A and B are shown apart, each in its own frame.
Chain A
Amino acid sequence: MGATYLRSEVLRSFRNRRFLILSLAFPVVLYLTITGPNRHHSFDGVAFALYFMMGMAALGTMSSVISSGAVIAADRSGGWTRQMRITPLTTRSYFGAKVVCGYLRALLTIALLCLAGTAFGVRLSAVEWLTVLGLLLVGLVPFAVLGIVLGHVLSADSFAAAMGGIVTLFSLLGGVYAFQLATSGPLFQIMRALPSYWLVQAGKAAVGGGGWPAEGWIVIAAWTVVLTPLAVLVYRRDTNRV
């Protein structure tokens, strides 16, 4: 991928200040206000400050990578996609740059929340911090692909609303908001089958330097494997329709 092309996509992504600030501020503000009164509690077997840090990181980073789809939808709605398709730019580079921008926004969210977590007494070793980061980055892959899918099936106008609903659903069922919907039974099985659940669990999994259990890896891989051909399909349908 050309550095100039990537740079222009990054500029475009980070110059949308209002969007960037709001999407960064929301999970951080939520974290600061809710962790304050709960900072001496524990939840799901770990300190509340750690659990909720991961919850808010999951919320913020899911939004970060899915919102790459909003840029794709805008390119499509405005006709810019057609202009790009008559240049030598490859499809891989086009989507690659969007995903990189999503991940850069996600890294910023993670950094802010880790700082906030540290302020509320979260103490992890360097290896544990790196494990948290690594698990989050891997766990976001299906959401990045989901963003590409949504970018092709939604218009620029409907994207924000649809993304809000989808992120809320993944958040509630994934345990982002630190309340127990279920600890056993079929609902719990559904929760454990969502990639957002494993994003939140990345904190707990990293303590002591471990990773997810096999189940977590399988869920992330399965969502990626199912969503990727779907992304290819909607992309093909979109290019044929013109």
Chain B
Amino acid sequence: MSLTTRHRSADPTSAVVVERLTKHYGSVTAVDDVSFEVPEGQLLALLGPNGAGKSTTIDMVLGLARPDAGRVSLFGGSPAEAVSAGLVGGMLQTGSLVEYLSVRELVTMVASLYPHPLPVSEVLELSGTAAFADRRTNKLSGGQTQRVRFAIALVADSDLLLLDEPTAALDVESRREFWESMRAIAARGKTVIFATHYLEEADAYADRIVLLARGRIVADGSTTEIKAKVGGRTIRATLPDAGLAQLAVLTGVTTVDRQGDTVTLNCADSDLALRGLLDRFPAVHDIEIRGAGIEEAFIALTADDTTAERQEI
């Protein structure tokens, strides 16, 4: 039953296949019909605000939660098979460490569970835990604990790595160091899925972003595509005599809104939109352009349930 040699799915390059995954907790639908495929070697960000269903999705991919509907396949097998074959490593969002053990002892113990672990000393260096490796786990700060969790995930040297909010509790400098280590890991051809609610983090380090909101995928694409969508700019201007429909068809504009004489244009490409606006409506004045915040963008993308269907980009 253990996968000593990898079972390959029909598509030989898929590390993870998630099909129509759904999970309810009571009356709350935590994950709603989520599907995505992750090719081997990809660094995928699950981006979304708190409560978007990122952790629940990760739990189901790892086999820690059972989906109410849908299916997860890891390297062509079930999560349980992949886990027992040592193909999966994970860094969970919560979780105390084992008391009465030093960091080194703990990492060594976890290493012993896997078929081909990395050398412990190398992992301690890579995870930034070497400096306090002989300290007991109950004597660590929040940031240090988070690094130890990372070390535990790394030492497996597994083909698939799932990281749930890996940089929570880390300061800016530690965060940068963390991602440097992560890049080194990704360079070995590992498949990495990480959950985050920082757009910048997803942008800087992921090959691809799956954007989740209220349990659904609202966007799925390369970082540039997603950034255009959620990181778009807003043009506000005074323009009394233009119809909303005329404004909405301008190139680069996604949605429009009017309050009195003021129109608001949400843009994927504000440069193009502005050229079109000045061209078609010379009377426009008091033009203001600002970048949309990530929270506003999330709200914009998920505000209307009828349009919250998965939008292909």
Contact = CB atoms under 8 A, between A and B. Distances in A.
Contact of A86 (B83, B94, B112, B115): B83
B227 interface: no
A40 interface: no
Interface string A81-114: 0110111111000000000000000000000000
Most buried by A among B85, B109, B115: B109
B95 interface: yes
Contacts of A74: 99
Nearest to A16: B100
Q: How many B residues touch the partner, as a band?
A: 35 or more
A126 interface: no
Given A87-B114, A87-B156, A88-B114, A11 B83 contact: no
A75 B96 CA distance: 8
A2 interface: yes
Contacts, number: 78
A193 B112 CA distance: 43
Contacts of B84: 88, 90
Contact of B83 (A4, A75, A87): A87
Interface string B20-40: 000000000000000000000
A240 B66 contact: yes
Most buried by B among A8, A74, A90: A8
Contacts of A87: 83, 86, 110, 113-114, 156
Given A85-B64, A88-B83, A11 B105 contact: yes
Given A8-B105, A242-B65, A89 B95 contact: no
Specify the main secondary structure of chain B where it touches its partner. Answer: loop
B41 interface: no
A88 B95 contact: no
A4 B101 CA distance: 13
Q: How many A residues touch the partner, as a band?
A: 20 to 34
B88 interface: yes
Interface string A1-24: 011110110011001100000000
Contact of A11 (B64, B88, B92, B101): B101
Interface of B: 2, 59, 62-66, 83-86, 88-90, 92, 94-101, 105-106, 108-115, 152, 156
Given A4-B108, A8-B101, A240-B66, 9 more contacts: A5-B109, A5-B112, A7-B109, A80-B95, A82-B95, A86-B63, A88-B85, A89-B113, A242-B59
19 contacts: A5-B109, A5-B112, A5-B113, A11-B101, A11-B105, A74-B99, A75-B98, A79-B95, A79-B96, A80-B98, A82-B64, A83-B152, A85-B63, A86-B88, A88-B84, A88-B85, A88-B115, A90-B84, A240-B66
